[in-house]
Amino acid sequence: MRLASCVQAGAAFAAVIEGERAVALAGVDELGPATLPAAGGSVRGEAFALGDVQLRPVIPSPRKVICVGLNFRPHVSETARELPSYPVLFTKFALSLCGPYAAIALPRESSQVDWEGEVAVVIGKPGRRIPRADALEHVAGYTLANDVSMRDYQRKSPQWLQGKCWEATTPLGPWLVTADEVPDPSALVLRTTLNGETVQEASLSTLIFDIPTLISTISEAVTLEPGDVILTGTPGGVGMARTPPRYLAPGDVVGVEAEGLGRLENVFV
């Protein structure tokens, strides 16, 4: 099942995506902490043409957005860092998120805006200290993200927050594909394109820390709750590692896709 958070004529609603239709879920304004994982069982309401609705971030107001850095070996190599022995974790805020097809404004303060295509995990069942063997039972589904990074700001301190949390720069979507449709997330192949050219491509089978390990590790420190989002890391091929470095400019279009999860695509302005 594909679920989305939508707006149509100023009204927000969650929907089941059926082909080219968004079928509203009665009484559900958005996907999130109060509505997962039960949203898919809600009464169906009015149907809209998918092209007539605006897709919001698939989880518009998560309580937690937890991101993983340096989780593909080629990306570790291209950044000239040591292979991590523990997941590199940082956070974003809900305000960092934007829609899967939104135009993204390049920050006037940064001249080094970079792309990072990622698969995102959405939690559906709460848990603390989740055993790795049980971790996938806590997943509501999967979606896509672009962890857009302001590299000049990221380098200002040993912590990455200031380079990662800019408002309305992290697209999330286009929809949530429920976990029953992705029985083996390690089989997903992630691809990022820049103006139609493939710049990143990798199988999640090559993650340094796989999804069950991430869920188990993060839940040691905090309770994972429905609607929490985990960005699982980006492959090699980012702009800052190119010779010369390639940063985003007005008019650039970045797409992130994986078979079965769809595609998000954003123009930078």
Q: So where are the chain's domains?
A: 2-55, 65-267
Looking at residue 234, what is its pLDDT?
A: 96
**How remote is the C-alpha of 175 from its chain's centroid?**
10
Mean pLDDT of 12-31: 96
Residue 165 pairs in a beta bridge with none
pLDDT at 80 over 80: no
DSSP state of 59: S
pLDDT at 146 over 80: yes
Strands of the sheet with 197-203, listed across from one edge: 197-203, 189-194, 253-258, 262-267
Enter the pTM of the model.
Answer: 0.96
pLDDT at 43 over 90: no
Mean pLDDT of 123-137: 98
Looking at residue 59, what is its pLDDT?
A: 98
The structure tokens listed for 102 are 């939104």
- Cα–Cα distance between 113 and 98 in angstroms, integer? 16
Task: For domain 65-267, give its CATH number from 3.40.50.450, 3.90.1720.10, 3.40.50.12240, 3.90.850.10.
Answer: 3.90.850.10
